[in-house]
Amino acid sequence: MPRGRPQDLAWRQFVRPAAVPEPVVLAAAYAARMTQEWTSAMSFSSFAPPSGGQDEAAPVDPREAVEAVAMRWQAFSSRGAQVGWASQESLRQAGVTGYGPLINRVVEIHGLMGSIGEQLALARAAEQDAQRHQRTAAIHDPRQAAVLEHSRRMAVRALCEMSTHFVLGAAHGLANLVLRTVLCHPAAAYEVNQAKRLKKAQGFPPGTDLKEAWLTFSPTGDVWSTLLPAAAEASGLTSLQDLVARLCLLQVDPRFSALEQRRGMDYHRHRPQSLDHTSPRAGLWSYDPVHKVSTMRMPGASADAERDEETVHRISADALECLGAALTDIEPLMGESLRSCHLSWIPVNA
């Protein structure tokens, strides 16, 4: 079977029986007198949008602000060693003793910022490709146009889900970054580590791969909405309190909640198929308890109500912008918080 870009896709149409108004009709008998055609399976070898013989379509919105903050955050990981050495001197001058773990902590923080920035950049790249697919040139051959529409819908959804994967990864990383910044203050660290639910984290040692030391960030997690604000309050530092408050704003942002809900369906429940099919979620059989009647129906091929690629794109794009704004706001608060804990910070644009 030939393979290629979406406009050259190998595709098949399978003949299936159309809908039947009568509840009990044998499918074989019905198929003999009436048929319906639809594309029921598709595969392609690249997510790259078809060119249609023209130059590559440009995204409508390049999301330059998201790109800028992603680039800055990536650059912080290249300052970890320098900041670690500088922090040794600032901690010594502040009279802090036993500061070795704090040096490793500030290095870990800078490495984590670089990782978050990369994930945001990858999320943006996937979303930009989704925009390109939505701007592909029209194809006048009806047969090819139908194939292109099917592949476009599948690819846009897949690219948006890819963007979602990296946005959620960056959001989880951001929450754990804020947590580790709070742990730089001894009073705040005590508040966190005395919580029974976090005992298995073993104090969140810098550089650990311990699963329990990397917490899940979600709209309903009370570690972020209750415990972390209390720890920041215990520090007495306005900078840490503001840092945690901004993370809490992200947690309750409806754009982030919408992303979590969509991911729950796509990853943990029944992900809607992009193509038409005859396997409705409600099934074929139903029972009326009032009239005590069982009914079987023969459905025609139809679209899943939740498959709409434009809805998926809007959810992923909103979440991308939401996270980009959070990183932009949190960046200066990170500097203020680390300096308040006698740790070094060098802005990327310095």
pLDDT in tens, 24-46: 333 344 344 445 676 544 445 55
Number of residues that make up the chain: 350
How far apart are alpha carbons 269 and 255 in whole angstroms? 20
Average pLDDT over residues 130-141: 73
Return the number of other C-beta atoms located less than 10 Å from residue 197's C-beta.
11
Is residue 16 domain-resident? no
Residue 210 confidence (pLDDT) above 50 = yes
Is residue 56 domain-resident? no
**Residue 107 near residue 84 (C-beta atoms within 8 A):** yes
Domains held by the chain: number: 1
Is residue 46 domain-resident? no
Is residue 221 domain-resident? yes
Is residue 83 domain-resident? yes
Comparison of pLDDT for 140 and 252, the residue scoring more: 252
DSSP-assigned states of every residue in 26-77? -HHHHHHH--EEEEEEE--S--SPP-TTSPPPPPS---HHHHHHHHHHHHHG
Average pLDDT, the chain: 84
Is residue 55 domain-resident? no
**Residue 123 near residue 170 (C-beta atoms within 8 A):** yes
The pTM (predicted TM-score) of the whole model is: 0.82
Is residue 111 domain-resident? yes
With a pLDDT cut of 70, the percent of the chain lying above it is 80
Per-residue pLDDT at 146: 74
Give the tokens for residue 131: 């925009």
225-242 pLDDT tens trace: 999 999 999 999 999 999
Per-residue pLDDT at 250: 98
The domain of 272 spans 62-340
Is residue 33 domain-resident? no
Give the tokens for residue 32: 């003999």
Per-residue pLDDT at 270: 76
Per-residue pLDDT at 281: 81
Q: What angle do CA 104, 170, 85 make, to 5 degrees?
A: 20
* Cα–Cα distances in angstroms (integers) from residue 304 to residues 280, 283, 316, in the given order: 8, 13, 19
How far apart are alpha carbons 178 and 186 in whole angstroms? 15
Listed range (137-146, 227-236, 261-270) with the worst mean pLDDT: 137-146
**Local confidence band at 143 (pLDDT 50, 70, 90 cut-offs):** confident
Residue 128 confidence (pLDDT) above 60 = yes
